[in-house]
Amino acid sequence: LQQRRGLRLSAPAAIQVTVRDALNQALDEELERDERVFLLGEEVAQYDGAYKISRGLWKKYGDKRVIDTPISEMGFAGIAVGAAMAGLRPVCEFMTFNFSMQAIDQVINSAAKTCYMSAGSIAVPIVFRGPNGASAGVAAQHSQCFAAWYGHCPGLKVVSPWSSEDAKGLLKASIRDDNPVVMLENELLYGVPFEMSEQAQSKEFVIPIGKAKIEKHGAHVTLVSHSRPVGHCLEAAAVLAKEGVECEVINLRTIRPMDIETVEASVVKTNHLVTVEGGWPQFGVGAEICARIMEGPAFNYLDAPAVRVTGADVPMPYAKILEDNCIPQVKDIVFAVKKALNI
């Protein structure tokens, strides 16, 4: 009516939300929506979470919905998997995915394979979530990316958010999914604010698992990444734009199932491909993308070999200067793009 009278209505403004708060919102909304959902892990309840992701949830939902566990990943992951088989929808938090190695038998052999081995009669609707990849100054046993590890395993879905919208939409989709989902967050992104649209502020906002997002359109080279390196790709794209190189930046969002169609369509347009990841090079996410492109129709459109930018092939050093040289930086992406374009 106001529009008919010629009054100009402004669209609701997007707001700035940190990744931490987006995850907290998603957990709060799903705990409220479905009484089968519960959260368990080390320090998630009274302490509000090691990274304050679960802040306020224990006070709101109580001991039966937000559960502190002993420091025993195999134990509480096993309890969570059993609860999922019995009809609940647990969210199992690992303080870091490096510690999920203690529980990998539960994640792979118990959660991922049960639906197939039971001929579809037993679903395991569980989310394993927590920080993944390099943080800052925490050395080799706390700085590994497990995207390739978990992405290797059939029966799992694996998501890897970058922005606040990614984090909220993917976590809500993961909790509602009837399959086991591994959600690989990044500790260094928790405090970073991103713009969140009005749509993303809705309680029914979900991001489909298995669908990538083009963060920036371009015509000269395709940059494919996930998690924190997506931001580095956008920074590199801004640097290269000053030199007349227009990069198309793809945020994978999901590692398994991988949206290779979006990557293929971009490569057909740009004729060049650079993959960027924080994990190790051998058998990595970038290696899989390159193989899939080589095996598919987009290979014939490549004007140069694909280039991978990865973490260094070493356990993560503790010293900051060495750590910086083990993690892909903006300059490394710029160098790789120029190599791919032969400029």
**In the structure, what pLDDT confidence band is assigned to residue 4 with cuts at 50, 70 and 90?**
very low
Question: CA gyration radius for the chain?
Answer: 21
Largest CA distance in the chain: 66
CATH number of the domain enclosing 315: 3.40.50.920
Asked if residue 90 is part of any domain, the answer here is yes
Confirm if 283 and 253 have CB atoms less than 8 A apart: no
Q: For residue 12, what pLDDT is reported?
A: 60
Measured distance between the N- and C-terminal CA atoms of the chain, rounded to whole angstroms? 57
- Length of the chain as a residue count: 343
Closest CA to 203 of 16, 17, 26: 26
Mean pLDDT of 5-25: 77
Domain identity same for 153 and 231: no
Higher-confidence residue of 203 and 1: namely 203
Query: For 166, what's the count of Cα atoms within 13 Å in the CB-facing half-sphere?
Result: 30
Q: For residue 2, what pLDDT is reported?
A: 46
For 92-103, the pLDDT digits (tens) are 999 999 999 999
Domain identity same for 113 and 139: yes
Domain identity same for 94 and 175: yes
Domain identity same for 114 and 171: yes
Domain identity same for 319 and 193: no
Domain boundary among 201, 234, 264: 201
Range of 316's domain?
213-341
Domain boundary among 167, 201, 235: 201
Confirm if 188 and 135 have CB atoms less than 8 A apart: yes
Asked if residue 111 is part of any domain, the answer here is yes
Q: For residue 11, what pLDDT is reported?
A: 52
Domain identity same for 169 and 223: no
For 197-232, the pLDDT digits (tens) are 999 999 999 999 999 999 999 999 999 999 999 999
Domain identity same for 120 and 219: no
Asked if residue 131 is part of any domain, the answer here is yes
Mean pLDDT of 318-329: 94
Domain boundary among 166, 201, 236: 201
Burial environment of residue 338 by CB neighbours within 10 A (0 to 12, 13 to 18, 19 or more): middle
Asked if residue 208 is part of any domain, the answer here is no
Q: Please, which residues bridge with residue 194 across strands?
A: 17
Q: How many domains does the chain have?
A: 2
Domain identity same for 232 and 321: yes
Q: For residue 3, what pLDDT is reported?
A: 46
Domain identity same for 79 and 36: yes
Confirm if 170 and 163 have CB atoms less than 8 A apart: no
Query: What token pair was written down for 48?
Result: 């509000």
Computed over every residue of the chain, the mean pLDDT equals 95
Distance CA 136, CA 235 (A): 20
Indicate which residues carry an active-site annotation.
73, 142
pTM of the model: 0.93
Domain identity same for 194 and 299: no
